[in-house]
Structure 1
Amino acid sequence: MGNILCRTSIALALILLTACDGAPPPAQVLEGKTMGTVWRVNVAGIDAARAAALRQKIQQQLDADDQELSTWKADSALSRFNQYRGSEPQRVSENMADIITLSLRIGRKTDGAMDITLGQLVNLWGFGPVKAPPTTPDPQAIAAAKADTGLQYLRVIQRDDGQYLQKTLPALSVDLSTVGEGFATDHLARLMEQEGLTNYLVSVGGAVLTRGSNSGGRPWRVAIQKPTDRENAVQARIDLQGHGISTSGSYRNYYELDGQRISHVIDPRTGRPITHKLVSATVIATTALEADGWDTGLMVLGLEQAKAVALREKLAVYLISKRGDRFESWMSPQFAAFLIEN
């Protein structure tokens, strides 16, 4: 028989491809829940006993990450910062400072399209911990929430005694859900390295990172899922070559309102969910965190602006847009280097 590719769903819009014809015993597969989504670790070269111990360490680490970054936990480090109504710099962890520094950088490079200060708008549209009724917010409410956003009102300060975060707009609310999955994925990779493991694939939600090879000695490969509600429909196959990948899509996290899909991706320029024809943006980068930051910004920008940014910044990007009843794809030259020909 030929080399048959097995498909195993690992995350939103990404599918793990493994050779299953005459292959050696599969890698240990560990999984659980975190940050309102699922995590998954495929690791080669360990037995069941070590896998059980590793799973416990993974969950403990992700629980700690969630306690720091969650907007759903009132006592998380991020929630405490959001609840603070002053302008004095607040001490934060190095992790938090790094995430926000990268987010601010990508925000500037996308002309504010990637904006982590949209907490008020996220809640207003019903995608945050404060649930809104299933009605379209009135223009005054949108304008009021929009007035409490802006990357220019948030800064990271480096002092001799550590990292600080300052907001100069008292009601500013930071939401790191756009980058939390990427950060957690990178953090899982660091844990694997600390455990002496060099052949693994880790994922949290829509972010994935690989190192080494699978249990068959082959490269880890993933596929971009077609932007439909049908699972395991492959759009493109990718050899990650030890990189991180993240996909943002408007076709999974939404609700129906008056016959329309209301996307969780909110445009900070309008204060409203996106309505353009770009339905999926996939980015490959050296870290899952960076890929996770860029994919949201590109989704907000829409097809043509996303193309321009991808080319200007030399990003590895794969975009899927909807034209009538069919989907069209576009990739940057940098992305083509990771593509596996069918």
Structure 2
Amino acid sequence: MKSRITPIDFIRKNWLLVGILFCIIVAAIFPHLGSKEGPMRTEFTVKYVAVFVIFLISGLNIKTDSIFNTFRQYKLHLFIQCFTFIFVPYITTVFIKFLNLFSINSWVLKGLITVACMPPPVSSAVILTRAAQGNETASIFNSVLGSFLGILLTPLHLLNQLGSTTIIPIWATVVQLSTTVLLPLSIGQIALQMGFKGRKWPLNTVSQCALLFVIYTTFCDTFTTPEAGLSALDVIITVFSVLMLQIFLMIISFKVCGFVSKDFTPQDKVAVVFCSTHKSLTLGIPILRIMFHGYSHLSQISLPLLVYHPTQIILGGLVVPQLKDWVHSQRKYKALV
């Protein structure tokens, strides 16, 4: 007989998902506490504390040999970046042509294509990949690489898709990536080489708690964002469209990468699912504000990105347990073979 799963067992196995749902509820009740104007000063505590801690722990967990091995996985990196910057904008354009048949707000549709042109984030994809026991090193590499490529490719995409572009603050972006990603990774690697024993500390738990803090502040900003000019129908259609698009992209990325290369391991495929489909809110919102400054339709254009970011986190939390079990089953199968 199958053993009965108790609520405690469910929470223990899916505690990241439970934590995400808890953060959403608390953010809905106390949105101003974690908003940018709130007492937590999230413009500093998120970028320079929470994200710093996430990548410091990654640096402490990653073996130096795996970093050098990751540089050789050019097929994996090429697939993720091509999927991010070529396939996602293309399929979103096709999806928007379909949505045009239903007379959906044209500014919301422009917001969808803007989201598709964005680079990947540098935190959520990494943590979710680690939680699912995927290739964390590859996820870090491609998140950082995608962010740097986005400095050049995102404006070109926006020029091609919308006929308008913007100048991304290159120096500010490079400094931010260096201080919040590369610096803590380097510190972690130095500490590891000096004999730091990470097994004695609950590093993964601390890292996931830092991610939950980022998620909480993200939803606080979402709940405090004014929705001027948005109808209830606009919001519902946007949520549904973003959800369908993300589910489709996650399925396609998982299926197609297996056909592209037989060399991809289950851990590589987990990294592909998260890194190639996630989009950056941190870089996206400033771009939208620069591009559409003074537009009365800024709220409609921003809505898809504001919906996309929390949705990718919720979907990620839902699929992490399944992907983790799948990785384990593949390991057992290979061990038997």
> TM-score with structure 1 length normalisation?
0.26
Name the one with the larger helix percent: 2
Name the one with the larger strand percent: 1
> TM-score with structure 2 length normalisation?
0.27
Q: Which has the higher contact order (CA 8 A, sep 6+)?
A: 2
